[in-house]
Amino acid sequence: MKKSIIKLSTLIIVIVLGLYSCQSKQGDKDQKGQPNETGTKKKESVQPGEVVLSQKQFDAMGIQLGTPELKNLSDIVKANGFILLPPQLKADVSTFVGGVVKSVNVITGDNVKKGQILATLESPDYIQLQEDYLKAKSNLVFLEKDFNRQKEMLNANATSQKMYQQTLDNYNSTKATVLSLQNKLTLLGISVKNLESGQMVSAIPVISPMDGYVQKVDINVGKFADPTLVMFEIINNSRLFIDLQVYEQDIEKVKPGQKVYFTLPNQNSSQYEATVYAIDKGFDNATKSITVHARVLQNKMAGLFPGIYVQGYIQVGRQKVNALPNEAINKVGQVENVFMLSQIKAEGENKDYIFLPIEVKTGISDAGYTAVTFLKDLPPDTKIVTKGTYYIVSEEQKGKDVDSD
């Protein structure tokens, strides 16, 4: 019995040793059955913030390295505002004497010329005005003859000075009335020449005071148009302006004659040009800004209309600065950084490129470059990623996602 127990114990020990041996051998292989480098060659872990790219990744992503370049960039002041129409190119059309609308000859959006008839009005007042003119004109002819007669009689001492003066006063008063009525008729578009030849009219034309487009029509046939009613609004977009709101810390940089480049929110690919011609003298406490006025270049106005919001960039000078291509800069929230080449590890024919983000402060941007200031000193030969930053950021994000798992 004792010998059986000894044999059983020996068998158990052999089985345990066999299992331990198999487990040790399996531990020397990875999931693919390859030998584990544990104990022979262990890859160093990536430090926080570092991004490691293999040679193949480096080449496939088109990564380019460089150093900041000394560039002569245009300094700009950013300002927002609106496109405006000068008052000389906008007209509200109304009548001097009210009347009922007889016809409307245009609609909103029509292109009109100066002097073109927009509508016609009719009223008994127009007929009465013409009658008053003809009567005053006839009376003036009589008074002129009477005045000349009194003048001759006064020279011959055949009349009194009082009678002569009274005739002169009547003549001058009627002459003034005739001129006044004549101006009213002209303003209403009634031909005085035709009227004096016997052509009286009951309707008057409403004419366009300038070339342009009909922006608004506020009448219809049968409506009474009084002098306070704006019947038509005519605009001419041949000249446009922009008003930009510049904040107080930048206003000293802005001067008349400076170039302005501006874009529309819905047309970021299109850039327009203007020139500063005036700066307001008053300060707006509500917005803490001053209005800067600029003329839009006449050959650069396609697609622009009054009232559109714009984003403007005023060129206030040029500076020599250390700059990097715009695509080299990565911005996350309020933090801006670039990637520096921290180290190259070579193992045989393979290379690993290790990059480290470096925080920078950006300045003016122009012609695809942005001024940068490093927040800490770097060796003068430090290489910066100038192209392919987007891919490095993607790799950095992948690393963060893996760490979070």
What strands lie across the sheet with 99-104, from one edge to the other? 203-207, 117-122, 99-104, 224-225
- Per residue in 191-202, pLDDT (tens digit) is 999 999 989 999
- Per residue in 329-369, pLDDT (tens digit) is 988 888 888 998 888 888 877 888 888 888 988 887 777 88
Closest CA to 84 of 371, 328, 309, 359: 309
Pairwise CA distance, residues 196 & 327, whole Å: 79
Model pLDDT, residue 227: 94
Closest CA to 204 of 215, 220, 190, 193: 190
- Per residue in 85-100, pLDDT (tens digit) is 999 999 999 999 999 9
Look up the pTM and report it: 0.59
Q: Where are the domain boundaries for CATH 2.40.420.20 in the chain?
A: 51-71+320-404
CATH 2.40.420.20 fits 51-71+320-404, yes or no: yes
Model pLDDT, residue 33: 44
| Domain 94-235 in this protein, CATH class | mainly beta
Architecture of domain 76-87+236-318: Beta Barrel (2.40)
Q: Where are the domain boundaries for CATH 2.40.50.100 in the chain?
A: 94-235
- Per residue in 144-192, pLDDT (tens digit) is 898 888 888 878 787 788 888 898 898 899 999 999 999 999 999 999 9
User: What is the full DSSP assignment across 247-305?
Assistant: ETTTGGG--TT-EEEEEETTEEEEEEEEEEEEE-SS-BTTTTEEEEEEEEPGGG-TT--
Q: Where are the domain boundaries for CATH 2.40.30.170 in the chain?
A: 76-87+236-318
Contact between 382 and 67 under an 8 Å Cβ cutoff? The reply is yes
- Per residue in 104-148, pLDDT (tens digit) is 999 999 999 999 999 999 999 999 999 999 999 999 999 889 888
pLDDT band at 402 (very low <50, low <70, confident <90, very high): low
pLDDT band at 378 (very low <50, low <70, confident <90, very high): confident
Model pLDDT, residue 151: 82
The interaxial angle of helices 161-187 and 124-155, nearest 10 deg, is: 150
